[in-house]
Amino acid sequence: MSTVHRTLAGIQASTRSFVREPFTVVLLVVLPALSIQIYGIGMGQFPDVGVFAVSGSVATVGRITGAVFATGALAGVLGLFQMISARHADRRLAICGFRGVELVTARFATVAVASAVVSVVATLSLIVLVDDPIRAPLAAFGGLAIAGAIYGLLGIVVGSVLPRELEGSLLLVILTDVDNVFASGLFGIEDSITQFAPLAHPHAIVTEAVVEGALATGHLVPALGHLSLFALLSVAAYTYQLESGGDA
Amino acid sequence: MNRRVTTAVRMGVREFRRTPVLLALLVFLPAYIIGAFVLLVPDVDVPATIDGTRVAVPMTDFAAAFMTPVTVAILSGIVGLFLVQTSQAADDRLRLAGYTATDLVVSRVGTLGLGIVVVTMASVVVAVFAFTPESTVPFVAATLLVGLTYGILGVVVGIVLGRLGGVYVMLFSPMVDVLLFQNPLATDAPEWTKLLPSHYATNALFDAAFTSSIDVWDFGGAVAYTVGLLVIGVLVFYQATDVE
């Protein structure tokens, strides 16, 4: 079997195992819209008391926060469970002759596809739910896709380093929730600090696209920087767990 | 408590102890969340609604008090979710070995309770490093009630939705309920948010944090909500383990 065939077989197997859980597929489609609407209502109840470092109406920024959070969280949890559930299968595939690079490509590709699907759903939901028309939907999609990819990779890192469902979920859920609050502008934490939060730049890209109708070029490079960093970390973590027998 | 129950709880605690990473996370994560917010929020006063009155409170105190129930809700929910998920196979075997339905329920509730106490204590210790609640004991009690509420919810969600779906739901629920809809900074909270799981417990918690009075109505509501959820949780648990 050629490298391409082996990689495709890996992607197909991962995707199939995911699609076998129809409830999970439903959640991936429903949760972004639900999250956007709930965050919009939730943040709409806050008065403008100078606590929130947001541009645009608080309700709109709430919806954007809901979209970024849903995309990142869904992709992250998917990446985590993908790694944990596939750990033993990957070891057996490695014994069968699959190379590490093929396996890691298959895992990344599955997470990337799922992230892209969630990003599309989140973008469409934003278009429908935000009061004013979104003038730069592609830029909004781009920001959400980066958020999903970063968290998909983070899920792979956590799943490789901490391959236990309870501990991995605890860590990922807390990281996601805290990161989301940092990125949202809630609590008015300084930009010099929040810029290190992985969701901060994707959040800014989506906000600029929705509120200003422009591409936030100043945030694109740092966002891609975060993406590259997590890609490197996930390759290193995945390779480590494969070589160490998956008992990291 | 009979010997079968104490044995099952002891085994549950031993399982906790065998996973030092879990214990480390349960202690470290509260420090990370509450500590990060206390250190990073600006040093200003914010207007918050406490006991029905709009008052100005320091942002650092607010962050410490507010992130405590958020942290406890998230951690307790996930612990409840995985406790029931990991114990299902063991429960079936224990049933064959002669455990009654009541033994199993009391054992699992006991183990869950211990986990929630650990999470609550870790979170409160971090919070009181940053600020001193006006009424410490009610503050701890209200935090524990938030933990119990979300721990039981985690159990129910774990049984009904499974692991992946359950993690999704328990990731979103505390953020939406506690962080968004029980937030004292809000001025126009919709009426239906009073039906959310943490409403009464967080009200009691903020009263305890910033006033010397205790609202019996909020505590009573929180206890009633927790007991109601516990009844639902026990029924769902009975159904899932097919006992009796």
- CA-CA distance, A111 to A68, in Å (whole number)? 16
pLDDT digits (tens, 9 = 90+) for B75-100: 999 888 888 887 777 787 888 888 88
pLDDT digits (tens, 9 = 90+) for A92-141: 777 777 777 777 777 888 888 888 888 999 999 999 888 888 889 999 99
DSSP per-residue letters across B80-114: HHHHHHHHHHHHHHHHHTT--HHHHHHHHHHHHHH
The more confident residue out of B122 and B82 is: B122
pLDDT digits (tens, 9 = 90+) for A145-155: 999 999 999 99
- CA-CA distance, A52 to A184, in Å (whole number)? 9
Test the A interface: residue of B18, B27, B78 with most A CBs within 10 Å: B78
Residues of B in contact with A70 (CB under 8 A): 172
- CA-CA distance, B25 to A33, in Å (whole number)? 31
Q: What pLDDT, on the 0 to 100 scale, is given for residue A248? A: 44
Any bridge partners for residue B55, and if so which? B48
Let me know if residue A248 belongs to a domain: no
Q: What average pLDDT does this structure show over B152-178?
A: 88
Q: What average pLDDT does this structure show over B118-145?
A: 93
Pair type for strands B53-58 and B45-50: antiparallel
Q: What pLDDT, on the 0 to 100 scale, is given for residue B120? A: 94
Let me know if residue A231 belongs to a domain: yes
Q: What pLDDT, on the 0 to 100 scale, is given for residue A51? A: 53
Residues of A in contact with B187 (CB under 8 A): 45-47
pLDDT digits (tens, 9 = 90+) for A184-233: 777 777 777 778 888 899 999 998 998 888 888 889 999 999 999 999 99
Q: Which residue of A has its CA nearest to B63?
A: A187
The more confident residue out of B147 and B82 is: B147
Do the chains contact at A174 and B32, CB–CB below 8 Å?
Answer: yes
Do the chains contact at B19 and A164, CB–CB below 8 Å?
Answer: yes
Contacting B with CB below 8 Å, chain A residues are 21, 23-24, 27, 31, 35, 38-39, 41-47, 49, 51, 69-70, 73-74, 77-78, 81, 162, 164-167, 169-171, 173-174, 176-178, 180-181, 187-190, 193
Q: What average pLDDT does this structure show over A83-96?
A: 77
Do the chains contact at A81 and B25, CB–CB below 8 Å?
Answer: no
Band of pLDDT at residue A169, cut at 50, 70 and 90: confident
Any bridge partners for residue B58, and if so which? B45
The more confident residue out of A202 and B187 is: A202
Residue A100 near residue A188, CB atoms below 8 Å: no
Residue A165 near residue A159, CB atoms below 8 Å: no
Please check the confidence at residue B244 and state whether its pLDDT lies above 70. Answer: no
Q: What pLDDT, on the 0 to 100 scale, is given for residue A191? A: 76
The more confident residue out of A20 and B34 is: B34
Percent of chain A with pLDDT over 70: 93
Which residues, other chains included, contact A241 with Cβ-Cβ below 8 Å and sequence gap of 6+? A83, A87, A160, A161, A163, A248
Of A157-171, A201-215, B120-134, B138-152, least confident by mean pLDDT is A157-171
Q: What SS3 state is found at B197?
A: coil
Q: What pLDDT, on the 0 to 100 scale, is given for residue A48? A: 61
What is the number of other CB atoms lying within 10 angstroms of the CB of residue A77? Answer: 28
Band of pLDDT at residue A245, cut at 50, 70 and 90: low
Q: What pLDDT, on the 0 to 100 scale, is given for residue B1? A: 60
What total number of domains does chain A contain? 1
Which residues, other chains included, contact B59 with Cβ-Cβ below 8 Å and sequence gap of 6+? A51, A187, A188, B41, B42, B43, B44, B45, B46
Percent of chain B with pLDDT over 90: 37
Nearest to B175 among A21, A41, A177 (CB): A177
Nearest to B29 among A46, A170, A193 (CB): A170
Residues of A in contact with B25 (CB under 8 A): 167, 170-171
Which residues, other chains included, contact B32 with Cβ-Cβ below 8 Å and sequence gap of 6+? A174, A178
- Select the highest-mean-pLDDT range: A42-51, A53-62, A201-210, B104-113: A201-210
- CA-CA distance, B28 to B75, in Å (whole number)? 11
Domain around A194: 3-243
Which residues, other chains included, contact A69 with Cβ-Cβ below 8 Å and sequence gap of 6+? A35, A39, A176, A180, A199, B175
Do the chains contact at B185 and A170, CB–CB below 8 Å?
Answer: no
Q: What amino acid is encoded at A110 in this protein?
A: T
The more confident residue out of B198 and B171 is: B198
Which residues, other chains included, contact A140 with Cβ-Cβ below 8 Å and sequence gap of 6+? A123, A126, A134, A205, A206, A209, A210
Residues of A in contact with B190 (CB under 8 A): 41, 45
Residues of B in contact with A21 (CB under 8 A): 162, 164-165
